[in-house]
C-alpha cells in the first residue's frame, strides 16, 4: 500500500502531492525544495465527510498504525522472507474497526498539521505490538512449521499513524468517512477526557536543501534518504535535524550511460563466532573455493543494497556482492550522472547482516543455530555506488556480472 499524501508547501502554502516515504518535496508553484523530517511516527489524516452541522472541533480521531516492510526470518534450515503491509487499530476499543482496510489506498490522506481541529485518542497499542501482529501474517509461527527459530529482522519498514475521523450524533458514534454508525456512545465530554488536543511535536519539520559545505542546491529524488552535491562532490544524510556528511565513493565505469546502484559497505567485528576476516567468512559459510592468504588479509565487510527491492532479490544481491567483493576495484569520490537514489538507511542495513550470513551459508543446519549467539559490531560504513549496464532487459554489474531486472527496481520504489 503506497499512501498518496496531500500537504502544503512550507514556503508558499500551495498543495503538494507526495507519497508516504517521500522526503524531498518540490513545490510545483514556487519551485522551492525542502527535506521533510519527522520526530517519531509520520502522522496522516483520512479525509472526512462529516455533515455540515457537526462542528470541526467536535471531531474525534482514532489512530491506526500502518506497517509496511520486509520480514526476514531464519528457522530450521531455511531463510525466508515476505513483504508485509498491514494497518491495525492503535487503541483498545471494540466499537472501532480493527483495520482501515483499503481506505488508505482508495483516497488521499493529509499530512498532520495544526489546522486539524478536534480531539485525538491516546495511542495505547505500541508499534512493537504491531510488528508482532505483522509477523503473525507470515509463516513464521505457523503450526505446520515446528522447526527451531533462530533470527528475525525487519528491513525497509515504514511505520506511520493514520487517523480515522469520528463524530457523535444523538449519542451514536459515527465513522466520519462513511457516515455509518459504529456504536452507541455516551456524551462527547467523556471521550474528550480520554483524548488529547493536537500536539505540536506531531508536526513535521523541513530543512533547506542547500549544501552545508558550498551552499549549492543538493540533488536527489523524492524518496532519497541521501542527498548529493555535484558541485563539491559530497553526500549528506539527515541526522538529528541537520545534514551530516558521510563517506562515499563511486566505482568508475567504462560506459558513459551506466546506472550506479548504491550499496552500504559495512566493515564489522564479530563476537560469538570465529570470523576475523573475509577468509573466515568463506570458511564458516563453506564456500566451494580455495581460501587463499589474500582472503585472510581482507577485512570482513558485508555489502548490502542501499535501496528497497523485493526481499528475496535484496537478499540475493547482498549475498552475491558480498561473496564477489574481491572483484570490485577501488572507487573515487567524484559525482556522475545515473546515481540511483538511496532509499534504505544504513541503520536498517546493519539489521540484515545475520540474514545475509545465513543466506550465504551452504551448510545452513550448522550455521543457523549459531545466529542467536553472534553479534556484529560495525566499525566503518561507506556508501559505494557500483556501475550496472543496461542490456535491454537487465542491469548487469560491470565487474561481477551479477544482474537485476530493471522492472524489479521500479517496483521497489513503492515498497
Residue 136 has pLDDT above 90, yes or no: no
- Convert the pLDDT of each residue in 69-78 to its tens digit: 888 988 888 8
Distance from the first to the final alpha carbon of the chain: 8
Residue 170: left if φ>0, alpha if ψ -120 to 50, beta else—which one?
left
pLDDT digits (tens, 9 = 90+) for 201-210: 888 888 999 9
The pTM assigned to this predicted structure is: 0.89
The pLDDT > 90 percentage for the chain reads: 51
pLDDT at 414: 64
Q: What torsion, rounded to 10 degrees, do the Cα atoms 305, 311, 313, 317 define? A: 30
Res 186 pLDDT > 70:
no
What's the pLDDT score for residue 171? Answer: 86
Residue 359 near residue 79, CB atoms below 8 Å: yes
- pLDDT bin (cut points 50, 70, 90) of residue 295 is very high
pLDDT band of residue 133 (cuts 50, 70, 90) is low
The domain spans of the chain are 4-205, 247-412
The predicted structure's pLDDT at residue 299: 96
Cβ contact 157:70 at 8 Å = yes
**Most confident region among 156-165, 174-183, 319-328 by mean pLDDT:** 319-328
Asked if 211 and 345 count as a contact pair (C-beta separation under 8 A), the reply is: no
CA 261 to chain centre: 17
Residue 189: predicted pLDDT: 59
What is the pLDDT confidence band of residue 82, given thresholds at 50, 70 and 90?
confident
Q: Are 378 and 266 in contact (CB under 8 A)?
A: yes
Mean pLDDT for all residues in the chain:
88
pLDDT band at 11 (very low <50, low <70, confident <90, very high): confident
Joined grid coordinates for residue 10 = 512550507
DSSP 321: H
Question: Nearest Cα to 45, choosing from 258, 183, 221, 203?
Answer: 203
Q: What's the pLDDT tens digit per position in 15-44?
A: 888 887 788 888 888 888 899 988 778 899
Question: How confident is the model at residue 85, as a pLDDT?
Answer: 81
Residue 1 pLDDT: 57
Query: What pLDDT score does 195 carry?
Result: 86
For residue 275, give the DSSP letter: -
Amino acid at each position: 500500500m503506497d499512501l498518496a499524501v496531500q500537504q502544503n508547501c512550507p514556503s508558499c502554502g500551495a498543495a503538494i502531492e507526495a507519497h508516504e516515504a517521500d522526503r524531498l518535496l518540490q513545490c510545483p508553484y514556487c519551485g522551492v525544495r525542502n527535506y521533510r523530517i519527522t520526530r517519531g511516527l509520520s502522522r496522516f489524516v483520512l479525509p472526512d465527510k462529516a455533515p455540515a452541522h457537526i462542528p470541526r472541533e467536535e471531531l474525534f480521531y482514532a489512530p491506526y498504525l500502518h506497517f509496511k516492510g520486509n520480514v526476514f526470518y531464519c528457522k530450521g534450515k531455511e531463510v525466508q522472507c515476505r513483504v508485509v503491509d498491514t494497518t491495525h487499530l492503535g487503541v483498545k476499543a471494540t466499537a472501532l474497526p480493527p483495520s482501515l482496510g483499503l481506505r488508505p489506498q482508495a483516497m488521499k490522506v493529509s499530512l498532520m498539521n495544526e489546522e486539524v481541529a478536534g480531539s485525538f485518542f491516546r495511542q495505547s497499542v505500541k508499534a512493537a505490538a504491531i510488528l508482532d501482529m505483522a509477523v503473525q501474517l507470515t509463516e513464521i509461527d505457523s503450526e505446520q512449521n515446528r522447526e527451531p527459530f533462530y533470527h528475525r529482522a525487519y528491513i525497509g519498514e515504514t511505520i506511520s499513524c493514520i487517523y480515522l475521523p469520528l463524530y457523535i450524533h444523538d449519542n451514536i458514534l459515527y465513522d466520519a468517512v462513511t457516515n455509518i454508525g459504529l456504536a452507541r456512545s455516551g456524551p462527547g465530554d467523556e471521550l474528550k477526557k480520554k483524548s488529547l488536543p493536537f500536539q505540536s511535536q506531531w508536526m513535521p519539520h523541513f530543512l533547506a536543501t542547500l549544501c552545508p559545505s558550498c551552499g549549492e542546491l543538493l540533488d536527489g529524488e523524492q524518496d532519497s534518504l541521501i542527498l548529493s552535491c555535484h558541485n563539491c562532490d559530497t553526500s549528506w544524510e539527515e541526522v538529528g535535524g541537520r545534514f551530516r556528511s558521510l563517506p562515499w565513493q563511486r566505482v568508475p565505469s567504462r560506459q558513459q550511460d551506466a546506472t550506479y546502484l548504491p550499496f552500504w559497505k559495512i566493515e564489522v567485528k564479530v563476537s560469538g563466532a570465529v570470523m576475523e576476516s573475509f577468509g573466515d567468512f568463506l570458511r564458516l559459510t563453506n564456500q566451494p573455493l580455495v581460501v587463499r592468504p589474500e582472503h585472510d588479509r581482507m577485512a570482513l565487510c558485508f555489502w548490502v543494497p542501499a535501496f528497497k527491492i523485493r526481499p528475496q532479490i535484496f537478499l540475493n544481491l547482498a549475498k552475491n556482492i558480498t561473496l564477489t567483493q574481491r572483484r570490485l576495484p577501488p572507487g573515487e569520490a567524484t559525482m556522475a550522472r545515473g546515481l540511483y537514489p538511496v532509499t534504505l538507511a544504513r541503520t536498517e542495513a546493519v539489521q540484515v547482516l545475520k540474514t545475509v550470513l545465513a543466506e550465504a551459508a551452504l551448510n545452513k543446519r550448522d550455521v543457523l543455530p549459531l545466529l542467536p549467539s553472534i553479534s556484529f559490531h560495525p566499525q566503518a560504513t561507506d556508501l559505494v555506488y557500483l556501475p550496472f549496464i543496461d542490456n535491454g532487459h537487465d542491469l548487469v554489474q560491470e565487474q561481477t556480472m551479477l544482474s537485476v531486472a530493471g522492472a524489479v527496481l521500479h517496483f521497489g520504489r513503492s515498497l
